[in-house]
Amino acid sequence: MTASLHLLLALLPLLAAKAPAARKAVEKGVPFVYVGGFRPEISIFRLDAATGALTPAGSADGGKDPAFLAWEPRGRFLFAVNAVPEGRVVAFAVDQKTGALARLNDASSAGVGPAHLSVDPSGRWLMVANYADTKPGTIAVLPIDAGGHLGAAVYTHDFGPGTMPHSIRADHSGRFVFVPCKGGPYVAEFALDQSSGQLTAGTPERVAAAPKAGPRHLDFHPGGKFAYVINELALTMAAYRLDGGQLTEIQTLSTLPAGLTPAKDFSGADVHVHPSGKWLYGSTRGHNSIVIYAIDATTGKLTLVGHETRTIDKPRNFHLDPSGKLLLVANQNAGTVTVFRIDQATGKLEPLGAPTPVGAKPSFVGVLMLPGK
């Protein structure tokens, strides 16, 4: 046995012991809530995890329509898309005690009408999906420097008119990137060069969705073997096996109750996997609901648990706090955020108090755990 292998075996117990401690440290932080929408300001709140109460903690100028936000893995920097034709992305430093945002700089999103952005697991690359509608939809990769500033795009890809890339996410390994294209309709697959930020088309380059399905957002199972895509137009949730950067569809279910005829204003919006990997949640506008599924840990398949509709009004976006105990919904029509307690045995939701007013047309809500005072 080599010396290096002896060292690795000696370190394994220490690494295993530190993992739970790291998770507890995240849960013991101070939860701050950030809300963006189709208005200039980003609103900041402190979250009382016991009661669900949101207390105003300031705001920041997010530019024009900071409709979607994201932060780097350590929570030091926050980024906002400006969902306008000229396409900008704004970078902020996050005060680790107060949650306040200090503007750093902004950069072109290298496309029209950015709808979504995310940071890769390394924290070095910001990825943007430019929806564009009738114009060519594009994605772009922007570098993030050590101080959180954004540079000009190092990579862009043009999908062509009508493809409507609606989101972009790297998997947990950071090696692969997926782009649901609502108008494709397909999910594009890429490999990410983590040293240069370049994307290379996968094999295959895309996974077709059902005609007129409208793939919109996706999320990954914490085990790394499955991914889930919510289809905006078909009002369905598709489950995929994830293997070496390739998606293989294994199941598609409705996001609506059985027997319900969809109205014209119904549309799927957002999707998130519970940190435990036990449950999957999806939002449907018009029906104004959060659908809840149980996830089979072995097969990745879904079983319907139920639907939550209380105090929900056009849920364009929702978010689970890092502990997996709370789910927050941005109610775009009502101008509020509803906080739900997640039943850890069933995955079902229970509202904690009345919705909190957060300003007009909230399209994003997210929880960031910070050290606090």
Nearest 5°: phi and psi at 51? Answer: -105, -15
pLDDT, tens digit, for every residue of 333-361? 999 999 999 999 999 999 999 999 999 99
Q: Are 238 and 228 a contacting pair, CB within 8 Å?
A: yes
Q: Pseudo-torsion of CA 84, 230, 211, 117, nearest 10°?
A: 30
Under the banding of pLDDT at 50, 70 and 90, the label for residue 183 is very high
The reported pLDDT for the residue numbered 134 is 80
Under the banding of pLDDT at 50, 70 and 90, the label for residue 2 is very low
Q: Which residue has the tokens 């929570």?
A: 75
Rounded to an integer, the average pLDDT of 361-370 is: 97
Exposure string over 33-67, b if 16+ CB within 10 A, otherwise e: bbbbbbbebbbbbbbebeebebeebbbbebbebbb
Burial of 195 from C-beta contacts in 10 A (0-12 / 13-18 / 19+): exposed
SS (H, E, C) the chain: CCHHHHHHHHHHHHHHHHHHHHHHHHHHCEEEEEEEECCCEEEEEEECCCCCCEEEEEEEECCCCCCEEEECCCCCEEEEEECCCCCEEEEEEECCCCCCEEEEEEEECCCCCEEEEEECCCCCEEEEEECCCCCEEEEEEEEECCCCCECCCCEEEEEEECCCECCCEECCCCCEEEEEECCCCEEEEEEECCCCCCEEEEEEEEEECCCCCCEEEEEECCCCCEEEEEECCCCEEEEEEEECCEEEEEEEEECCCCCCCCCCCCEEEEEEECCCCCEEEEEEECCCEEEEEEECCCCCCEEEEEEECCCCCCEEEEEECCCCCEEEEEECCCCEEEEEEECCCCCCEEECCCCEECCCCEEEEEEEEECCC
- Size (the chain), residues: 373
Q: Pseudo-torsion of CA 178, 218, 285, 303, nearest 10°?
A: 150
Q: Are 241 and 212 a contacting pair, CB within 8 Å?
A: no
The reported pLDDT for the residue numbered 313 is 98
pLDDT, tens digit, for every residue of 137-150? 999 999 999 999 99
Under the banding of pLDDT at 50, 70 and 90, the label for residue 7 is very low
- Please calculate the CA angle 122-184-319 and round it to the nearest 5 degrees: 45
Strand partners, 292: 281, 306
The reported pLDDT for the residue numbered 29 is 87
pLDDT, tens digit, for every residue of 190-208? 999 999 999 999 999 999 9
Looking at the chain, the whole-number percentage of residues with pLDDT higher than 90 is 89
The reported pLDDT for the residue numbered 36 is 98
Structure tokens at 80: 């906002």
Q: Is the pLDDT of residue 121 over 60?
A: yes
> Which residue, 122, 153, 123, is CA-closest to 140?
153
Q: Is the pLDDT of residue 3 over 80?
A: no
The reported pLDDT for the residue numbered 28 is 64
pLDDT, tens digit, for every residue of 13-34? 333 333 333 333 345 689 999 9
Q: How far apart are CA 174 and CA 163, in angstroms?
A: 24
The reported pLDDT for the residue numbered 133 is 78
Q: Is the pLDDT of residue 9 over 70?
A: no
> Between the CA of residue 318 and those of 63, 86, 193, 271, 326, what are the distances in Å?
22, 26, 30, 8, 11
Structure tokens at 216: 């919109």
